[in-house]
Amino acid sequence: MKSTFIFILHFHQPIGQLKSILRRIQSNSYEMLLDLFSYFKDLPLTLHFSGPLLLYWREYYPDYLERMKDIIQNSRFEVLGGAFSESILSILPYEDRVEQLKRGRKLVEDLLGVRPKGLWLAERVWDPTLPSAIKEAAYSYVIVDDEVGYRSGLWRDDTHTAILTEYAGRKIGVLFIDANIRYILPWRTHTEVLDYIRSFRTPNGFKYVLWGSDAEKFGEWWPRENAEPWLRLFFHLLRESNDIQTLTPSEYIKRYGFTGLAYLGPWSYDKMIEWSGGYFPNFLRKYPEANNMHKKLLRVREKLVRLKAPPHAWENYYLAQCNDAYWHGLFGGTYLPILRQAIYEHLIKAERISESSALYYASGLRISEEDFDYDGRSEILIESLYTNFYIKPSDGGSLFELDIKLEGYEHNLINTMSRYAEPYLSGITDYRPDWYRRVSFREHIWKRDASLRDWIENTPFVDVSDLALKHYLVEHIGDGGVVLSAMGRDWSIRSQPSRIHVTKVYEVEDEGKTLRVKYIWRNMEKRFIDPKISIELSLMPKLPLDEESTPNYTVDDAYSRSFTERFESPWSRTIRISSKDYKEIVVENNKHAEVWVAPIETLARTEKGLKKELQGIGITFNHIVALNPGESFETQVTLRWL
């Protein structure tokens, strides 16, 4: 009687990871694991290295990569392939799925000198249509979680054998990760882990137990001084065991084959199913910021095809498909601005390269109306050689994306994240989710006694108007800009609401390097009104990757503050935003106003508990205006970068 054990270590770091974190994990985890591999080259271990991590090693740790390559080629190890940028294949067009898998394979072949047979799926997110792309990319089997099998009607014994699945006649093999052992290895004793493996003994060993999880558990999540001796002894016990045979997936398939055909639903591991609501693309509905990136990706793809973009534009496009910034659970990173920044950087870089090569803006600005975010309502896209401005009339006529396309500073200046009602935040009494998306050029009318704290902390009913979420009418689209308008109501006096007509004019100047937004607030009542009107912006400058630094802002060239500090002024006009080694952003009102400035901060769940994350800076210009019947108040806010 014997049992079979398959051990898969998955190495990954996302595109945009801070260099300080890379250095720490490299030292604490990856170096330690490489040392262990050198002692256990005779043990049939299975490894997967994500494309982003292999690229990091090639750039920053070439000697380490060469040592890893040498050990692999002189060992019994098997190396799995995967998507080039560790992307979630189910949210990509078919052509991208195939290209991701082919590029991932080639990267492993080029850097490690081996040809993968099996496939590691990012976050093990399965989709029943994947076999076609997997087969076309020349992989013979894939690793998924046993939860995928259980939710698809398989029994426990089925998920401890290899099965086959197909789509449109394309057939591939499937092996299942055992969730139970993933939760006890390495957190329990060696005896408990080995006894669990032995519980699947058969006369010929055809039932396997497959452990597949993050390499970073050893040395990063679990301190190196504990992880290293535990894993060293575990490998030794596997090597010496007479009743547990360690095999790679390919060895298992060669020895035991497949037990039959099954059809698997669009599932993943248990926690991912919980976080996503059962289906990974639900993240794109839950988080408009994630959907924004995804739809930007689709738009850039269309442009790359149409403009016949060169290869380095496409490489940036594929790097922007790295999964971490598109979702959130315990590990996902849509709440991490540095990861969203990296996605936008690569997308905008791909866009800039394709446009430059095609002389796309030879005739100046391009303005179009398109359903950018696929919600059935048109957005207005203003594009220039140096910038993109995306406006959403149906969401307060707000500016939800501002792409700077200067070489070396490819960045979405509205890379901000709103606060959502996450289940794990329900017990926190002083946390209120945002009731509107934190973007720019959104209008409010405040209660007269409203404060900075009321605004940034979402005190209920301090905005007494309906303008913030108003569907603005598109009155005119011209060569240099867009005119929007809306009729709002000021409900300060519930029994006698006041009608206020707002005209908002977006004008792009200086080849796209300056945006002017002109406002006309008109009293439509036959009586005097004196509302406290407000214009809100949310912005995030580009953050450096080489250190964890906080940007600064200065009000009227007199008061300097960190982004994490709040500030209010009764009579100001100009806010300058700066971050280390990057451009200065200037926000200026042509009239003095009460100014509120505050950090936009979220609380997100991580493997180390709740963490406060800076998402950008919020700015409001508040004017108390006195308007007789038919009178109007005009002001202008300019946004530019130096």
Model pLDDT for residues 21-51, shown as the tens digit of each residue: 999 999 999 999 999 999 999 999 999 999 9
pLDDT value, residue 289: 98
pLDDT value, residue 533: 98
Supply 5's token pair: 């054990």
Total residues found in the chain within this entry: 642
| Secondary structure (DSSP) of 364-406 | S-EEEEE-TTSSSS-EEEEE-SSEEEEEETTTTTEEEEEEEEE
Residue type, 615: Q
CB 416 within 8 A of CB 540: yes
- The pLDDT mean for the chain works out to 96
* pLDDT tens string 167-186: 999 999 999 999 999 999 99
* pLDDT tens string 414-436: 999 999 999 889 888 889 999 99
- The mean pLDDT of 191-196, rounded to a whole number, is 98
Cβ neighbour number for residue 607 with a 10 Å cutoff: 12
- The mean pLDDT of 516-520, rounded to a whole number, is 98
Lowest mean pLDDT among 29-38, 324-333, 381-390, 589-598: 324-333
CB 620 within 8 A of CB 535: yes
C-alpha–C-alpha distance, residues 250 and 279, integer Å: 29
pLDDT greater than 80 at residue 363 = no
pLDDT greater than 80 at residue 607 = no
The SS3 of residue 279 is: coil
Of the pLDDT bands very low, low, confident and very high (cuts 50, 70, 90), residue 361 is confident
Residues ≥6 apart with Cβ < 8 Å to 222: 186, 187, 230
Rama region for 59: left / alpha / beta (φ>0; ψ in -120 to 50; rest):
alpha
C-alpha–C-alpha distance, residues 569 and 593, integer Å: 8
C-alpha–C-alpha distance, residues 397 and 472, integer Å: 5
Supply 600's token pair: 């936009």
As a three-state string, the secondary structure of 41-99 is CCCCCEEEECHHHHHHHHHHCHHHHHHHHHHHHCCCCEEEEECCCCECHHHCCHHHHHH
Residues ≥6 apart with Cβ < 8 Å to 245: 2, 3, 4, 5, 205
Helix, strand and coil in the chain, % to nearest 5: 30, 35, 35
Lowest mean pLDDT among 241-250, 534-543, 571-580: 571-580
pLDDT value, residue 581: 65
